[in-house]
Amino acid sequence: MSMLLKVKPKELLNELISSKNPLTITYQKDGRWFANKAVLTNFEDNTFEIRILAQLKSKTFDIEVGSRVGISLKDCLGNSSGNFIFDTIVYDLVPGQNDGGNSIVRLAIPENIELVSRRNYRRVQVPALQNVNILLWQRFTVQNGDRTSVGCGPELCGKLLDISLGGIQIAMESSESIVFEKGQSVGLKFTPFEHETPISFTAGIRTALSTADRRHLTLGLEIIGLEASPEGRLILSRLASVVEQYDKLNSSKR
Protein backbone atom coordinates (compact mmCIF):
# COMPACT_ATOMS: atom_id res chain seq x y z
CA MET A 1 0.00 0.00 0.00
CA SER A 2 1.06 3.60 -0.48
CA MET A 3 -0.96 5.07 2.40
CA LEU A 4 2.17 6.24 4.22
CA LEU A 5 3.93 7.83 1.27
CA LYS A 6 4.59 11.44 2.24
CA VAL A 7 4.88 14.47 -0.05
CA LYS A 8 5.97 18.05 0.65
CA PRO A 9 2.81 20.10 1.31
CA LYS A 10 4.00 23.34 -0.33
CA GLU A 11 5.19 21.47 -3.44
CA LEU A 12 1.73 19.95 -3.83
CA LEU A 13 -0.10 23.22 -3.16
CA ASN A 14 2.02 25.08 -5.70
CA GLU A 15 1.27 22.44 -8.34
CA LEU A 16 -2.40 22.50 -7.46
CA ILE A 17 -2.61 26.24 -8.14
CA SER A 18 -0.96 25.73 -11.54
CA SER A 19 -3.14 22.78 -12.54
CA LYS A 20 -6.39 24.36 -11.28
CA ASN A 21 -7.60 20.86 -10.42
CA PRO A 22 -10.56 20.80 -8.01
CA LEU A 23 -10.32 19.33 -4.55
CA THR A 24 -12.89 18.07 -2.06
CA ILE A 25 -13.30 19.50 1.42
CA THR A 26 -15.19 17.40 3.98
CA TYR A 27 -16.51 18.76 7.25
CA GLN A 28 -18.83 17.70 10.05
CA LYS A 29 -21.96 19.50 11.16
CA ASP A 30 -24.40 18.22 13.80
CA GLY A 31 -22.92 14.73 13.68
CA ARG A 32 -23.12 14.41 9.89
CA TRP A 33 -20.41 14.69 7.25
CA PHE A 34 -20.72 16.94 4.20
CA ALA A 35 -18.51 17.46 1.14
CA ASN A 36 -17.96 20.38 -1.23
CA LYS A 37 -15.80 20.90 -4.31
CA ALA A 38 -13.31 23.76 -4.21
CA VAL A 39 -10.20 25.13 -5.93
CA LEU A 40 -6.97 26.38 -4.37
CA THR A 41 -6.46 30.11 -4.93
CA ASN A 42 -3.44 31.11 -2.83
CA PHE A 43 -1.00 29.95 -0.16
CA GLU A 44 1.47 31.66 2.14
CA ASP A 45 3.97 30.45 4.74
CA ASN A 46 1.48 28.86 7.11
CA THR A 47 -1.93 29.05 5.43
CA PHE A 48 -3.64 28.43 2.09
CA GLU A 49 -6.98 29.55 0.68
CA ILE A 50 -9.63 27.62 -1.20
CA ARG A 51 -12.70 28.93 -3.01
CA ILE A 52 -15.88 26.89 -2.78
CA LEU A 53 -17.25 26.31 -6.27
CA ALA A 54 -20.52 28.21 -6.39
CA GLN A 55 -22.27 25.88 -8.83
CA LEU A 56 -21.54 22.91 -6.57
CA LYS A 57 -21.96 24.68 -3.24
CA SER A 58 -24.01 22.65 -0.79
CA LYS A 59 -26.97 24.34 0.83
CA THR A 60 -25.63 22.98 4.11
CA PHE A 61 -22.15 24.55 3.74
CA ASP A 62 -21.52 25.78 7.25
CA ILE A 63 -18.15 25.43 8.96
CA GLU A 64 -16.61 27.25 11.89
CA VAL A 65 -13.18 28.76 12.51
CA GLY A 66 -11.06 26.29 14.46
CA SER A 67 -12.90 23.21 13.19
CA ARG A 68 -11.02 20.30 11.65
CA VAL A 69 -11.73 19.38 8.01
CA GLY A 70 -10.51 16.83 5.51
CA ILE A 71 -9.07 17.51 2.07
CA SER A 72 -8.76 15.02 -0.80
CA LEU A 73 -7.62 15.51 -4.39
CA LYS A 74 -6.36 13.53 -7.34
CA ASP A 75 -2.59 13.28 -7.86
CA CYS A 76 -1.46 16.36 -9.77
CA LEU A 77 2.30 15.70 -9.48
CA GLY A 78 2.32 12.92 -12.06
CA ASN A 79 4.28 10.54 -9.84
CA SER A 80 1.62 7.87 -9.50
CA SER A 81 -2.06 7.15 -9.84
CA GLY A 82 -3.52 8.08 -6.49
CA ASN A 83 -5.39 10.50 -4.28
CA PHE A 84 -3.79 12.88 -1.80
CA ILE A 85 -5.51 13.18 1.59
CA PHE A 86 -4.87 15.23 4.71
CA ASP A 87 -6.60 17.02 7.55
CA THR A 88 -6.25 20.64 8.52
CA ILE A 89 -7.76 23.39 10.68
CA VAL A 90 -10.02 26.23 9.49
CA TYR A 91 -7.99 29.38 10.11
CA ASP A 92 -10.44 31.99 8.80
CA LEU A 93 -13.56 32.51 6.68
CA VAL A 94 -13.81 35.24 4.04
CA PRO A 95 -17.37 36.35 3.10
CA GLY A 96 -18.29 35.71 -0.52
CA GLN A 97 -18.80 38.68 -2.82
CA ASN A 98 -21.76 37.31 -4.77
CA ASP A 99 -23.86 35.08 -2.56
CA GLY A 100 -23.21 36.57 0.86
CA GLY A 101 -21.86 33.23 2.10
CA ASN A 102 -18.41 32.05 3.09
CA SER A 103 -16.94 31.39 -0.36
CA ILE A 104 -13.27 31.62 0.64
CA VAL A 105 -11.88 29.37 3.39
CA ARG A 106 -8.39 29.96 4.79
CA LEU A 107 -6.78 26.78 6.11
CA ALA A 108 -3.58 25.88 7.94
CA ILE A 109 -0.91 24.19 5.80
CA PRO A 110 -0.64 20.58 7.03
CA GLU A 111 2.56 19.00 8.29
CA ASN A 112 2.02 15.85 6.23
CA ILE A 113 0.07 14.81 3.15
CA GLU A 114 -0.55 11.16 2.36
CA LEU A 115 -1.03 9.43 -0.98
CA VAL A 116 -3.61 6.66 -1.39
CA SER A 117 -3.48 4.30 -4.35
CA ARG A 118 -6.43 4.95 -6.64
CA ARG A 119 -6.91 1.24 -7.26
CA ASN A 120 -8.25 0.99 -3.70
CA TYR A 121 -11.20 3.15 -4.80
CA ARG A 122 -12.29 0.45 -7.26
CA ARG A 123 -15.27 -1.50 -5.97
CA VAL A 124 -14.33 -5.09 -5.08
CA GLN A 125 -16.82 -7.85 -4.38
CA VAL A 126 -16.59 -9.79 -1.15
CA PRO A 127 -15.00 -13.20 -2.04
CA ALA A 128 -17.51 -16.03 -2.41
CA LEU A 129 -16.09 -17.98 0.55
CA GLN A 130 -16.26 -14.94 2.84
CA ASN A 131 -19.60 -14.44 4.59
CA VAL A 132 -19.19 -11.00 6.12
CA ASN A 133 -22.00 -9.85 8.39
CA ILE A 134 -22.23 -6.16 9.16
CA LEU A 135 -23.98 -4.26 11.92
CA LEU A 136 -25.42 -0.85 11.17
CA TRP A 137 -27.44 1.71 13.06
CA GLN A 138 -29.05 4.98 12.12
CA ARG A 139 -27.55 8.19 13.53
CA PHE A 140 -29.68 11.26 14.17
CA THR A 141 -29.28 14.63 15.85
CA VAL A 142 -31.07 15.52 19.07
CA GLN A 143 -31.62 19.19 19.84
CA ASN A 144 -31.77 20.09 23.53
CA GLY A 145 -31.99 23.88 23.79
CA ASP A 146 -28.73 25.30 22.44
CA ARG A 147 -26.98 21.92 22.59
CA THR A 148 -26.95 19.36 19.77
CA SER A 149 -26.10 15.72 20.42
CA VAL A 150 -26.06 12.59 18.28
CA GLY A 151 -28.42 9.72 19.00
CA CYS A 152 -28.36 6.17 17.64
CA GLY A 153 -31.12 3.82 16.55
CA PRO A 154 -31.23 0.04 17.13
CA GLU A 155 -28.54 -2.21 15.64
CA LEU A 156 -29.53 -3.91 12.39
CA CYS A 157 -27.81 -6.81 10.66
CA GLY A 158 -26.86 -6.98 6.99
CA LYS A 159 -24.43 -8.69 4.65
CA LEU A 160 -21.46 -6.94 3.05
CA LEU A 161 -21.61 -7.27 -0.77
CA ASP A 162 -18.71 -5.11 -1.99
CA ILE A 163 -16.26 -2.53 -0.73
CA SER A 164 -13.91 0.25 -1.82
CA LEU A 165 -12.39 3.29 -0.12
CA GLY A 166 -15.23 5.30 -1.63
CA GLY A 167 -18.10 3.22 -0.30
CA ILE A 168 -19.68 -0.14 0.41
CA GLN A 169 -22.85 -2.02 -0.53
CA ILE A 170 -24.97 -3.95 1.94
CA ALA A 171 -27.91 -6.35 1.58
CA MET A 172 -30.42 -6.64 4.42
CA GLU A 173 -34.01 -7.47 5.23
CA SER A 174 -36.55 -4.67 4.90
CA SER A 175 -38.47 -3.31 7.88
CA GLU A 176 -41.65 -1.23 7.80
CA SER A 177 -40.60 0.57 10.98
CA ILE A 178 -37.18 1.69 9.68
CA VAL A 179 -36.77 3.97 6.66
CA PHE A 180 -33.42 4.88 5.09
CA GLU A 181 -33.09 8.18 3.24
CA LYS A 182 -30.40 9.58 0.95
CA GLY A 183 -27.85 11.59 2.90
CA GLN A 184 -28.70 9.97 6.22
CA SER A 185 -25.78 9.07 8.48
CA VAL A 186 -25.33 5.50 9.74
CA GLY A 187 -22.80 3.75 11.95
CA LEU A 188 -21.16 0.54 10.73
CA LYS A 189 -19.22 -2.32 12.29
CA PHE A 190 -17.89 -5.46 10.60
CA THR A 191 -15.05 -7.99 10.74
CA PRO A 192 -13.51 -8.43 7.25
CA PHE A 193 -11.78 -11.71 8.16
CA GLU A 194 -12.45 -14.16 10.97
CA HIS A 195 -10.54 -13.52 14.23
CA GLU A 196 -9.64 -9.95 13.22
CA THR A 197 -10.48 -6.81 15.17
CA PRO A 198 -13.78 -5.29 13.91
CA ILE A 199 -13.71 -2.09 11.86
CA SER A 200 -16.17 0.63 12.87
CA PHE A 201 -16.92 4.00 11.23
CA THR A 202 -19.78 6.18 9.98
CA ALA A 203 -21.01 6.48 6.40
CA GLY A 204 -23.73 8.25 4.43
CA ILE A 205 -26.66 6.69 2.56
CA ARG A 206 -26.39 7.19 -1.20
CA THR A 207 -29.03 4.71 -2.38
CA ALA A 208 -31.65 2.49 -0.74
CA LEU A 209 -33.28 0.09 -3.20
CA SER A 210 -35.95 -2.49 -2.36
CA THR A 211 -36.35 -5.81 -4.14
CA ALA A 212 -39.52 -6.44 -6.13
CA ASP A 213 -41.13 -8.30 -3.24
CA ARG A 214 -40.21 -5.51 -0.79
CA ARG A 215 -38.68 -8.09 1.58
CA HIS A 216 -35.03 -7.14 1.11
CA LEU A 217 -33.09 -3.93 0.73
CA THR A 218 -29.76 -3.00 -0.86
CA LEU A 219 -27.98 0.00 0.63
CA GLY A 220 -25.25 1.93 -1.17
CA LEU A 221 -23.13 3.79 1.39
CA GLU A 222 -20.57 6.55 0.89
CA ILE A 223 -17.43 6.60 3.04
CA ILE A 224 -16.82 10.25 3.87
CA GLY A 225 -14.80 12.20 6.43
CA LEU A 226 -12.22 9.56 7.41
CA GLU A 227 -9.43 11.66 5.88
CA ALA A 228 -10.21 14.43 8.38
CA SER A 229 -8.34 12.89 11.32
CA PRO A 230 -5.32 10.64 12.00
CA GLU A 231 -7.65 8.06 13.54
CA GLY A 232 -9.85 8.11 10.45
CA ARG A 233 -6.86 7.66 8.14
CA LEU A 234 -5.85 4.56 10.14
CA ILE A 235 -9.31 3.17 9.38
CA LEU A 236 -8.80 4.06 5.70
CA SER A 237 -5.50 2.18 5.80
CA ARG A 238 -7.23 -0.92 7.15
CA LEU A 239 -9.99 -0.62 4.55
CA ALA A 240 -7.37 -0.29 1.80
CA SER A 241 -5.77 -3.52 3.03
CA VAL A 242 -9.16 -5.27 2.99
CA VAL A 243 -9.81 -4.11 -0.58
CA GLU A 244 -6.42 -5.46 -1.71
CA GLN A 245 -6.89 -8.80 0.08
CA TYR A 246 -10.39 -9.30 -1.29
CA ASP A 247 -9.14 -8.44 -4.78
CA LYS A 248 -6.33 -11.01 -4.52
CA LEU A 249 -8.74 -13.71 -3.31
CA ASN A 250 -11.12 -12.97 -6.17
CA SER A 251 -8.26 -13.03 -8.71
CA SER A 252 -6.99 -16.40 -7.44
CA LYS A 253 -10.39 -17.98 -8.15
CA ARG A 254 -10.57 -16.84 -11.78
pLDDT tens string 34-54: 889 999 988 888 999 998 886
Q: What pLDDT is attached to residue 100?
A: 46
Domain 122-252: CATH superfamily is: predicted glycosyltransferase like domains (2.40.10.220)
Residue 239 vs residue 119, higher pLDDT: 239
Q: Can you list the positions of beta strands (E) in the chain? A: 5-7, 23-29, 32-43, 47-52, 68-74, 82-94, 104-108, 113-117, 124-125, 133-144, 147-152, 156-163, 167-173, 185-190, 199-210, 216-222
One fold for 5-118 and 122-252: no
- In the chain, where are the structural domains located? 5-118, 122-252
Pick the CATH number of 5-118 from 1.10.268.10, 1.25.40.10, 3.40.630.30, 2.30.110.10: 2.30.110.10
Q: What pLDDT is attached to residue 61?
A: 64
Q: What pLDDT is attached to residue 1?
A: 42
Mean pLDDT of the chain: 85
pTM across the whole model: 0.85
Q: What is the pLDDT of residues 99-154, one digit of tens each?
A: 544 588 999 999 888 888 888 889 999 998 899 999 999 987 766 766 666 778 88
